[in-house]
Structure 1
Amino acid sequence: MTTVLAPVAGAAVRLAAVPDPVFAEGMVGPGAAIDPARSPGSAVSPIDGKIVKLHPHAYVVVGDDGRGVLVHLGINTVQLRGQGFELLVAEGDRVTAGQPVVAWDPGVIEATGRSPVCLVVALDAIAASVTELVQGPVQPGDELFRWG
């Protein structure tokens, strides 16, 4: 069982509630979303593992068990080309759950007309394997869901 932590502060909601059909319909994988607090902060690693993909707006951490978790900061934020984000680690680094990975400002993202919602997805997972999804207020490092 993998416990996946909230990478950012805000209100945890179901993926189906996000304004992007690819994520909302679970095409990337099951998981949760967080409507973030609109203040600058850090997005943390949701699990212990290795950063295998790192972009200013998104990162993937793979645990020792081979399970990968995608954290995607905002909708269509790849178009910002790093504006509003600062990388705090490098691709290939080992991180611990709760360790800051990206500094970001959801307010800057929202000011560009994009949704700052944070998506947390269990990659290559079946929907039934993601359980105990939290809804409501979360802080970085709080349990968000379990992947069994």
Structure 2
Amino acid sequence: MTTVSSPLAGRVIGLDAVPDPVFSGAMVGPGTAIDPLREPSDALSPVDGVIVSLHPHAFVVVDDEGRGILTHLGVDTVQLNGEGFELLVGKGDSVSRGQAVVRWNPASIEEAGKSPVCPVIALEATAEALSELVHNGDVVAGDTLFNWK
């Protein structure tokens, strides 16, 4: 089982509240989403693993069991071309749960006209594979969002 931790502090809102049909429809995979605090912060790795995909606005960490977890920093933030994001690790790096991966400021993302809501997705998983999935409530970075059985 893989425990997936929150990469950010904020309010969990669930995937169905993400203002993007690909995420809200769980087309990428099941998971949940966080409406982050509007302050500069580091997005943390939700699991121990290896960074297999790294963009300023999104990253995927694959754990020892080969499970990929996507953290997407905001919606449509790819359109910002990396502005407002600072990469703190490199693709192929091993990371520990809670290690800073990307520095960003959700308030500046919102000021740029984008939603700062952050989906956290279990890639290539089924909804039935997730347990103890958090759909609402306040979280701090490092709190458990779900378990992947």
TM-score if structure 2 supplies the norm length?
Answer: 0.98
Q: Match of 1:138?
A: 139
Q: Match of 2:86?
A: 86
For the residues of structure 2 that align with 1:53 and 1:113, how far apart are their CA atoms? Answer: 25
- Number of positions where the alignment pairs a residue of Structure 1 with one of Structure 2: 148
Percent identical among aligned pairs is: 61
SS in 1 for 2:12: strand
Q: Match of 1:37?
A: 37
SS in 2 for 1:128: helix
Using the TM superposition, give the Cα deviation of residue 86 of structure 1 relative to its aligned residue in structure 2, in angstroms: 0.2
For the residues of structure 1 that align with 2:86 and 2:133, how far apart are their CA atoms? Answer: 28
Per-residue CA deviations over 1:40-70 (Å, capped at 9, x if unaligned) read 0000000000000000000000001000000
Instruction: Show structure 1 runs of 4+ deviating over 2 A.
Output: none
Aligned CA RMSD, in angstroms, stands at 0.6
Gaps of 5+ in 1: none
Per-residue CA deviations over 1:96-143 (Å, capped at 9, x if unaligned) read 000000000000100011100011000000011112122211111111
Gaps of 5+ in 2: none
For the residues of structure 1 that align with 2:131 and 2:25, how far apart are their CA atoms? Answer: 17
Using the TM superposition, give the Cα deviation of residue 14 of structure 1 relative to its aligned residue in structure 2, in angstroms: 1.1
TM-score if structure 1 supplies the norm length?
Answer: 0.98
